[in-house]
Amino acid sequence: MAKSRFEYVRNYEQDLSILPNTYIVIRVDGRGFHKISKEYDFAKPNDRRALDLMNVTAKSIVEQFPETLCAYGQSDEYSFVLKRDCALFERRQAKLVSTFAATFTAQYIFRWPQFFTEPLKGWLLPTFDARTVIYPTIGEIRDYLSWRQADCHINNLYNTSYWTLVLRGGMSEHEAEQTLKGTNSSDKNELLFSQFSINYNCEDEMYRKGTIITAVRERGKRRIKEAHVDVIGDEFWKTCGFP
C-alpha cells in the first residue's frame, strides 16, 4: 500500500528502549489512596481486605507475565522485578509502564467485589500509576527490595503506634502525633508493650513485612508462591534460587 503524505508524523514518536541485560523493576502505586482508604472505610492501620486484594491482583500479574522473577508489595504499592533477559514489548518503556498500570488497575477493580461488600463509586475509582527503575545486578535488586521492606516496617510501626494511641488510648490525632514525635523504634515497641500489652513482633507478618511473591520452576511448571518473610537478611536470598 502506498504511504500517505501524513506518514512522516510517525517519525516524531519517541520510544525509549530500556538497556539490555539489566533487571527492570516496575513499581505500581495507588493514586490518592489516602482519599480512597477514607471513602471506602479501610480499617486502620491495616485493612486485611485491601491488602489481600493487592496480593491477588499482583499474583494475577505474575501469572500473566512469565518474565516476572518476583514481586513485593506493601500498602498501596507493588514492585515487579522482571528477569534480566526479559524481552517483553522489546523492553519499550512506555509499553511496559502503561501495560502494568492498566492491567493492575483492571484486575484490582475486577476483583474488588470478592473482598468488599461496598460497591465502587464511579466518581472515585482506584487507579494505579507505574514507573520503571533499572538495576544492573541482583545485589541492587536485593537492596531495592530491602529498601521497600524497611519502608514497610517503619511506616507500619509508626501507624500501629499512632492508631493504638488514638483508638485504644483515647488520644486525639494531634496528641498521638505529639506523643510519637522524636521516638525511635524501641521507644515505640516499649510504648505498645507497656501501655497496651502489645508485642509488636507478634503482629501479623503480612503487616510487618509485606508480601513477597516468587515464581519458581518446579518439574517444568511455573509455581507462584506468596510469603511474608524478611528479605533484608541472607536467608531469603540463599533459598530463592534467583539467577
Would you say 30 or 210 has its CB closer to ligand DGT? 30
> Binding to ligand DGT by residue 31, rule CB under 6 A?
yes
Partner touching 164 among Mg ion, ligand DGT, none, CB below 5 to 8 Å by kind: none
Pick one of 24, 26, 27, 33: the residue that binds ligand DGT (CB under 6 A): 33
Pick one of 24, 26, 28, 30: the residue that binds Mg ion (CB under 5 A): 30
Q: For residue 124, how far is the Cα from the chain centroid?
A: 21
Instruction: Enter the C-alpha cell of residue 241.
Output: 534460587
Q: Helix (H) and strand (E) counts for the chain?
A: 8, 6
Least spacing, CB of residue 141 vs Mg ion, in Å: 20
* Strand (E) or helix (H) holding 80: strand 77-82
Pick one of 25, 27, 33, 207: the residue that binds Mg ion (CB under 5 A): 33
Which residues does residue 95 pair with via DSSP β-bridges, in sequence order? none
The DSSP call for residue 3 is P
Instruction: Enter the C-alpha cell of residue 61.
Output: 500479574
Least spacing, CB of residue 128 vs Mg ion, in Å: 8
The DSSP call for residue 231 is S
Stretch that binds Mg ion, among 22-30, 204-212, 221-229, 232-240 (CB under 5 A): 22-30
Would you say 16 or 43 has its CB closer to ligand DGT? 43
Strands of 211-218's sheet in order across: 128-135, 23-30, 77-82, 68-74, 211-218, 221-227
- Judged by CB under 5 A, the number of residues near Mg ion is 6
Instruction: Enter the C-alpha cell of residue 41.
Output: 472505610
What HEC string does 118-131 produce? Answer: CCCECCECCCEEEE
> Binding string, 58-97, against ligand DGT, x = CB under 6 A?
-----------------xx---------------------
Q: Which residues bind Mg ion (CB under 5 A)?
A: 29-30, 33, 75-77
Q: Which residues bind ligand DGT (CB under 6 A)?
A: 29-34, 37, 42-44, 46-47, 50-51, 75-76
